[in-house]
Structure 1
Amino acid sequence: MARETIRVRGEYAGNADIIRSLRNNPLTRENIDSRIQMNNLIRQQNWKDTSAHTANVLKNFKTSLHNDDLVATV
């Protein structure tokens, strides 16, 4: 099955897979928008989790440097 090209902008950017999968289904615009909003919330949460992990790694690394131990665990 050939994939079609879908160009999306603004709030729909990064959600082409959702639009592609829902385009031929008998869903209302609100259903599609709610799926996209949920997808964006999941991305935001993943970003927060990643940022928190990165901050923790940096904190541990600074502590390690302060203790003359140059090993950072990730």
Structure 2
Amino acid sequence: MDDVAALLDSAIKETQSLRRGEVFLVRDLFKGYLWNRISRGDRLLIGSLFLSYVSSHDCGVLAIEKGVSGQQRYKRI
């Protein structure tokens, strides 16, 4: 769980690098090879925790519709 918490913290910090209005997926907040090294279960957990975080904090990120692949999309506001 420590690894997941660290990865979640990293994702949250990375949102500050996005431009206002930019739409993204959680996986976009990680380098491709790093995201691929995370187990599927942990990726799902990170996604759930990220959605919970942005829904309950004023962090400049808004959850928008899910994409065609079923992944939650977000927008930097």
Q: Please, what TM-score do these two structures have when normalized by structure 2?
A: 0.34
In our comparison, the structure showing a higher alpha carbon Rg is 1
Q: Please, what TM-score do these two structures have when normalized by structure 1?
A: 0.35
Q: Which has the higher helix share?
A: 1
Specify which structure has the bigger relative contact order, considering alpha-carbon pairs within 8 angstroms and separated by 6 or more residues. 2
